Chain A
Amino acid sequence: MFAETFLEALAAGLFLGCIYGLMCVGLGLIFGVMRVINFAQGDFLMLGMYFNLYVVSVWGLLAFLGPAAAPFVGAILAGPALFVGGYLLHRLLIARVSGTSVSGSEDEGRSAQLILTLGVALALENGALILFGSTPQSARTTLALRAWEIPLLYDPTAAVFINKASVVACVLSLVIASALYFLINRSRLGKTLRAAADNPAAATYMGIDVDRAHRIAFGIGTGVTAVAGGLVATYHPFQPYVGLDYVIIMYAGVVMGGMGSILGAFWGGLTIGLVQQLSTLVLPTQLQNAAIFAVFLLVVLMRPQGLFGRAAERI
């Protein structure tokens, strides 16, 4: 009996963890690589969810794909849409408190970023409340109602049930996270973005337009997180304030994974998914989030460079 619950929690943790990993990768690009604090990251996740909902259910633009596949395609399309959103947000607001405009100032604009994006977060989530209402909704795929039954080898009477939607969402997360990993590590664009984040002055000497690179990286970060949001929406209900729950998870994941590493951010998110789900085996359900924060605090205090980070850094 315990084996079944354990395996189910493990599977749930892995599948959820992959989506968390994808969200963290998006934030990892913004916070980990570019060192910009974006408190509104959770709200881009939320916007990704609503984007998916509207494109699929409300406007029915993807009806031709069928009720099973459409929500997944909607989730992916949230990426480009919120890339544009993030790009514009950076151009209009974030650029004034980050990058070259604040280099050399006392805290590199960090408290200004924190407060500014807190303002953006409040405006976005309450704006969403005005536009979309407070009723929890979901862009559910029909796969969310189906599960695979996997019999356990040693005990033919027992089986583990695995939700099909969460498996598809997990696979898509892995694919997108790997694509982003290759984009950042292998492509010319990705290298340009990394160079601009690593040493803005030297990047300028190479002829790189550092401000533009920062805008693009910010847009990619928000876009990727929005896709993760869209994927969560395929089997989970949500409301406009949902971003607050996730933003903490994302920061915890990025810091745990080690700042500056895309791969680390993914592992960080995955770890959080596992901790959250496995903690239900020993702790009451209400405490699963408390467990995440406890683990997060332990990691930050004991190993500020992150579980998977290599450079010892505590800034």
Chain B
Amino acid sequence: MLAVEGLTVAYGGLKALSQVSLAVGDGQFVTIVGPNGAGKTTLFKAISGTVPTEAGRIRYEERDLLAMPAAERAHLGIAHVPEGRQVFASMTVLENLEMGAYPAAGRRQWARNLERVMALFPVLAERRDQLAGTLSGGEQQMLAIGRGLASAPRLLMLDEPSMGLAPAVADLIFERIGELHREDRLTILLVEQRVAEAVQSCDFGYVLETGRVVLTGSSEALLKDDRIRTVYLGM
């Protein structure tokens, strides 16, 4: 479904990503883990078109994504739930979800998607008329995911959904993500710092360190691999 080949991204002389390749198959749950500064967010931004790329290709359902303006990519069924949530703080919860449903597909299935989002995160239903900026961190993350889902995506990209959240809340979010994969058969690309939670539920994982892919493998293989610990903790 999504294929990244030899992707290189550089900002002002320093390479954020070098020669990164990865593939996400239809219906797969793929995880990218790695410590801070590994280039995970940059990879997502390159897929969404908000950073310029230097070399490589990104193909999505046989289309060349790099040839498309950033705003058109969402209309192909790619939902990007960005790092740090980035909800529209001055708009209500419901308005945020409506904005998520901006692409035509999202508008067509609005009622169904809204119901699904509210079922996944009932707290959003309670707060539907509250300004997003006044929500707690966990609620904002739920809203950001809900906003992504409202576009009726075929590929859901999640960037560090657990960032800054209390463990219990993070667990809840991971649970819901797993549910989306299992029950809704959604294709998911997840970037995470918290390795175990992220790797455990995935089909396939990549470990990124300073802009390169250093390890790949299935969920079970990666979980057993103690090299991940070295990548994170240095020893």
Contacts and interface: CB of A to CB of B under 8 A. Distances in A.
| Direct interface between A and B, CB < 8 A | yes
Interface of A: 188, 191-192, 194-195, 198-199, 201-210, 260
Contacts, number: 67
B72 interface: yes
Contact of A202 (B49, B69, B82, B98): B82
Contacts of A203: 88, 99
Given A188-B98, A192-B102, A208-B102, A199 B72 contact: no
Interface in B31-80: 48-50, 69-75, 79-80
29 contacts: A191-B91, A191-B95, A191-B98, A192-B99, A194-B88, A194-B95, A195-B91, A198-B88, A198-B90, A199-B87, A199-B88, A201-B82, A202-B86, A202-B87, A204-B71, A205-B79, A206-B99, A206-B100, A206-B102, A206-B103, A206-B151, A207-B72, A207-B74, A207-B103, A208-B71, A208-B99, A208-B102, A210-B71, A260-B90
Given A198-B89, A204-B71, A209-B71, 13 more contacts: A195-B91, A198-B88, A199-B86, A199-B87, A199-B88, A201-B82, A203-B99, A204-B48, A204-B50, A205-B82, A206-B99, A206-B100, A207-B72
Contacts of A194: 88, 90-91, 95
Chain A interface helix/strand/loop/mixed:
helix
Contacts of B102: 192, 206-208
B147 interface: yes
A212 to B, nearest CB: 8
A5 to B, nearest CB: 42
Contact of B99 (A191, A201, A210): A191
> What are the nearest 9 A-B pairs in CB distance?
A207-B74, A202-B86, A205-B80, A198-B88, A209-B71, A195-B99, A206-B102, A207-B103, A207-B75
Nearest to A260: B90
Nearest to B73: A207
Interface centre among A191, A198, A201, A205 (most CB of B within 10 A): A205
Q: Contact size class for B? A: 20 to 34
Contacts of A204: 48-50, 70-71, 74
Contacts of A191: 91, 95, 98-99
Given A192-B99, A202-B82, A207 B89 contact: no
A221 B18 CA distance: 44
Contacts of B74: 204-207
B161 to A, nearest CB: 15
B88 A207 contact: no
A201 B83 CA distance: 11
Contacts of A208: 71, 99, 102
B72 A202 contact: no
B48 A202 contact: no
A260 B79 CA distance: 28
B95 A201 contact: no
A201 B98 CA distance: 17
B40 to A, nearest CB: 16
B89 A199 contact: yes
Nearest to B44: A205
Contacts of A206: 74, 99-100, 102-103, 147, 151
Contacts of B71: 204, 207-210
Contacts of A210: 71
Nearest to B49: A204
Nearest to A207: B74
Contacts of B70: 204
Contacts of A195: 88, 91, 95, 99
A210 B73 CA distance: 13
